[in-house]
């Protein structure tokens, strides 16, 4: 498959982090939680704390792969009336401070119109799309739209993926390959997955594209463990929980920045 001809912001980010001999720190927060304005402020706090790449979550009513923390945030965002136009507003603000991708289930993109969504995402300054429930062999329309609008295509592999599936997914992906380090739904965990290093090693045998590892990291110590074998450490639920557990919005922003600083110290150790 062809690839985007010029380096994307994500390509440039990984060139920089590799030159610095460290992993990139990727942080996820859903658009519209607790409000659109507060989600933008939370992203800005996360980046100020050291996050290199932002994943903006598109809230969805049937998040089958999300754990309870992200589900609760998505429910709040949807109750606030968050729509794709709002997600794009958040992307626009986020892209002003860091490379930004959208994490979304496929159905909302398909309903919106694949090329229309790609065009709008690119116009908002987005760098690409993470599609957890879209596999490359069913993604021809998305791949074509992404290439037409200069967007990266970030596909997922799991410990259960066959070697053939891993090779095909890595070939189709751009920006980085997303390795889900544990089986099941998302959520912070007490320990990082023992399956993660082997999954990354299997990817390394088929591609030199950057590999990001997600699902479970919640502190700097765990981030350090993952950074030892991955190109990017992806954190979601732990950051969302900072907002869920906060007594007020300002406390939530402070908690997010503190956690981001701790995670960044982990990827730099």
**pLDDT above 70 for 64:** no
Q: Catalytic pick from 44, 55, 86, 89?
A: 55
- Whether 110 is catalytic is no
pTM above 0.85, yes or no: yes
Predicted confidence band of residue 46 (pLDDT cuts 50, 70, 90): very high
What pLDDT, in 10s, does the model give residues 67-111? 788 888 888 888 989 999 999 999 999 999 999 999 999 999 999
Q: What is the pLDDT of residue 145?
A: 98
- Tell me, yes or no, if 55 is annotated catalytic: yes
Using the predicted structure, report yes or no on whether residue 190 has a pLDDT greater than 80. Answer: no
Q: What pLDDT, on the 0 to 100 scale, is given for residue 154? A: 98
CB atoms within 10 A of CB 123: 12
Cα angle vertex 226, ends 71, 184, to 5°? 35
pLDDT digits (tens, 9 = 90+) for 101-112: 999 999 999 999
Residue 235 predicted with pLDDT over 60:
yes
Which pLDDT score, from 0 to 100, does residue 182 have? 61
Identify the CA nearest to 211 among candidates 223, 199, 221: 199
Task: Kindly state the percentage of the chain with pLDDT values over 70.
Answer: 91
**pLDDT score, position 193:** 55
Q: How confident is the model at residue 269 (pLDDT cuts 50, 70, 90)?
A: confident
User: What residue segments make up the domains of the chain, in order of their start?
Assistant: 9-268
- List, for residues 132-187, the tens digit of each pLDDT value: 999 999 999 999 999 999 999 999 999 999 999 999 999 999 999 999 976 443 44
Give the pLDDT confidence score for residue 185 in this predicted structure. Answer: 39
Candidates 66, 89, 147, 225; catalytic one: 66
Q: Which CATH architecture has domain 9-268?
A: Alpha-Beta Barrel (3.20)
């Amino acid at each position: 498959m062809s690839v985007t001809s010029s380096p994307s912001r994500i390509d440039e980010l990984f060139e920089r982090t590799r030159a610095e001999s460290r992993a990139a720190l990727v942080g996820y927060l859903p658009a519209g939680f607790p409000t659109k304005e507060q989600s933008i402020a939370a992203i800005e706090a996360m980046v100020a704390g050291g996050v290199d790449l932002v994943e903006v979550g598109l809230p969805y009513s049937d998040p089958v792969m999300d754990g309870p923390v992200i589900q609760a945030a998505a429910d709040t965002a949807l109750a606030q009336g968050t729509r794709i136009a709002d997600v794009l507003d958040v992307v626009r603000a986020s892209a002003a401070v860091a490379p930004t991708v959208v994490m979304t289930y496929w159905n909302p993109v398909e309903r919106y119109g694949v090329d229309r969504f790609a065009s709008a995402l690119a116009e908002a300054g987005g760098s690409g799309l993470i599609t957890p429930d879209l596999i490359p062999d069913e993604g021809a329309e998305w791949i074509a739209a992404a290439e037409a609008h200069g967007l990266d295509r970030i596909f997922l592999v799991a410990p259960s993926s066959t070697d053939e599936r891993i090779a095909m997914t890595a070939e189709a992906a751009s920006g980085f390959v997303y390795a889900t380090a544990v089986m099941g739904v998302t959520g912070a965990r007490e320990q990082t997955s023992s399956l993660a290093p082997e999954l990354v090693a299997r990817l390394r045998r088929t591609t030199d594209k950057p590999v990001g590892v997600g699902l479970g990291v919640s502190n700097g110590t765990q981030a350090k463990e993952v950074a030892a074998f991955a190109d990017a450490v992806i954190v979601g639920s732990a950051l969302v929980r900072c907002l869920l557990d906060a007594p007020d919005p300002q406390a939530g922003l402070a908690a997010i920045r503190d956690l981001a600083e701790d995670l960044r110290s982990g990827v730099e150790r």
